[in-house]
Amino acid sequence: GLAAVWAEENTRQSIYAALRRKETFATSGPRMRLRLFAGYDLPADLTQSPDGVAYAYANGVPMGANLEAASSSNATNAPRFAVWAQADANSAPLQRLQIIKGWIDAAGNTHEDVIDVACADGVAVNPEINRCPDNGATVNLSDCSYRAKTGSTELNTTWSDPNFDASERAFYYARVLENPTCRWNTWDAIRAGTQPRSDLAATLQERAWSSPIQYVPVAAGVKEAIPARK
């Protein structure tokens, strides 16, 4: 896998500053790019703007940061999340973009929810199950080839949590999945001229995932201790 940071410049000081404020993401191997922001004043079409990232920095928080509860005037309003993903040009196209939410309820029970927020090939998320339909991406297991025209080179969207509870602490992080590709054991079987093992998965979906944004209710009294981006 790979680890990556969003740094202002390629210097030791800038890279370590990005690590300290947790503006980071990781991948299972490919060089995908992934970015996540949250805020109460982010417009719904933010990811379509060429200045969207600059606006998100000025009016929201990036991945790795704490998002404190809104002011009393709109304390129950759900924040809006903006997420961008870009495929590795030397790997498979992207299939779906997700946000994963985790929280602890009033009884102390932990919960996690996986929500598809953007689908490849221009199709819409099924709102009843929060999942993208199957885009039909397949892999030829005889040579591990796949159709490069199925899937997307970029995915981006904004999303608000329909089940947001302003009194409940929660975390949100982004994840992007590629179309299926051959798993290592399938590649080994091809090189050896043997059939892939039936007890192992033949394919996998490479992915990238961001650092989480932590939503902090007023009652939690937790202040952001990570230095801001310069």
- And the tokens for 46? 């933010």
Q: How much is the pTM?
A: 0.89
Q: Which candidate, 139, 158, 161, places its Cα nearest to that of 150?
A: 139
- And the tokens for 121? 């090939």
pLDDT-based confidence at 225, cuts 50/70/90? very low
Q: How many Cα atoms are found within 13 Å in the side-chain-facing hemisphere of 115?
A: 21
Is residue 55 domain-resident? yes
Is residue 158 domain-resident? yes
Tally of structural domains, the chain: 1
- And the tokens for 107? 């009884």
Task: List, for residues 124-170, the tens digit of each pLDDT value.
Answer: 999 999 999 999 999 999 999 998 899 999 999 999 999 999 989 99
Give CA separation, 162 vs 130, 141, 155, 218, in Å.
11, 41, 21, 20
pLDDT-based confidence at 227, cuts 50/70/90? low
pLDDT > 90? residue 219: no
pLDDT > 80? residue 221: no
Residue found under tokens 């996690």: 112
User: What is the residue range of 137's domain?
Assistant: 2-220
Helix (H) and strand (E) counts for the chain? 3, 16
Is residue 211 domain-resident? yes
Task: List, for residues 52-66, the tens digit of each pLDDT value.
Answer: 999 999 999 999 999
pLDDT-based confidence at 76, cuts 50/70/90? low
Is residue 162 domain-resident? yes
Provide the mean pLDDT of the chain. Answer: 92
Is residue 225 domain-resident? no
Q: Which candidate, 152, 148, 124, places its Cα nearest to that of 138?
A: 148
Rounded average pLDDT over 94-119: 96
Is residue 227 domain-resident? no
